[in-house]
Amino acid sequence: MSNGKSNAPDSLRWPPLTTEQHPWLSRFNSDDLTRAQRDRIHRPYSSAMVPAIAHLSIDIPGDLATDIDEATQLLTRFDAEVGPGGLPFASILLRTESASSSEIENLTSGARAIAEAELGDRDTGNAAQIVRNVRAMEAALAVPGHQVAGHAGFRGCERHGAWPQRG
């Protein structure tokens, strides 16, 4: 774990990311919110102040450059042997993102319940919601030439039933 302090010489140090505070300006009518919600939205927030790095040069030590070159060659060879369609990366990323989203939304369910929901044997509860989330994301990814932006876009697909039905 890093303690936030670098032992690297000054030539290898990267400028730190800093933050600045801003007041939160809500677009919600405070009369429509609970007291706890009002208290929470009146707190300031921190925004990132990204340092200018375009003018910096990076001095990579020789042993690290050798490792980078070797990794690049291995990845190039892997891509040539397996090809772009060799592994279902989209499916892996979709499942990973879906699992993360479900965790954020406090949706938990067992593998069996999710499998039953996937087969159509369950249409209520967390398992069904998780399956609907996955289908909404699949539908969003399947729209040619369009990108569905963020959680609201996926929720829109879900609300309007715009995900593939499994049969």
CA distances from 38 to 24, 26, 88 (A): 11, 9, 45
Q: Considering the domain boundaries, does residue 73 fall inside one?
A: no
Q: Is the pLDDT of residue 144 over 90?
A: no
Q: Which domain holds residue 138?
A: 89-159
Q: Where are the alpha helices (DSSP H) in 50-149?
A: 62-82, 89-104, 111-119, 125-142
Q: Considering the domain boundaries, does residue 6 fall inside one?
A: no
Q: Considering the domain boundaries, does residue 54 fall inside one?
A: no
More confident residue, 93 or 24: 24
Q: Is the pLDDT of residue 106 over 70?
A: yes
Q: Considering the domain boundaries, does residue 115 fall inside one?
A: yes
Residues 131, 148: Cα–Cα separation, whole Å: 18
Q: Specify whether 101 is located in the same domain as 155.
A: yes
Q: Specify whether 152 is located in the same domain as 97.
A: yes
Mean per-residue pLDDT over the chain, rounded: 75
Which phi and psi angles does 48 have, rounded to 5°?
-75, 140
Q: Considering the domain boundaries, does residue 38 fall inside one?
A: yes
Whole-number pLDDT of residue 145: 60
Residues 138, 157: Cα–Cα separation, whole Å: 10
Burial group, residue 94, by CB count within 10 angstroms (0-12, 13-18, 19+): middle
pTM exceeding 0.85:
no
Q: Considering the domain boundaries, does residue 61 fall inside one?
A: no
Q: Is the pLDDT of residue 114 over 80?
A: yes
Q: Specify whether 97 is located in the same domain as 151.
A: yes
Q: Considering the domain boundaries, does residue 10 fall inside one?
A: no
Q: Specify whether 102 is located in the same domain as 44.
A: no
pLDDT band at 146 (very low <50, low <70, confident <90, very high): low
Whole-number pLDDT of residue 152: 46
Q: Is the pLDDT of residue 101 over 80?
A: no
Q: Specify whether 100 is located in the same domain as 44.
A: no
More confident residue, 145 or 96: 96
Q: Considering the domain boundaries, does residue 147 fall inside one?
A: yes
More confident residue, 111 or 144: 111
More confident residue, 51 or 91: 51
How many domains are there within the chain? Answer: 2
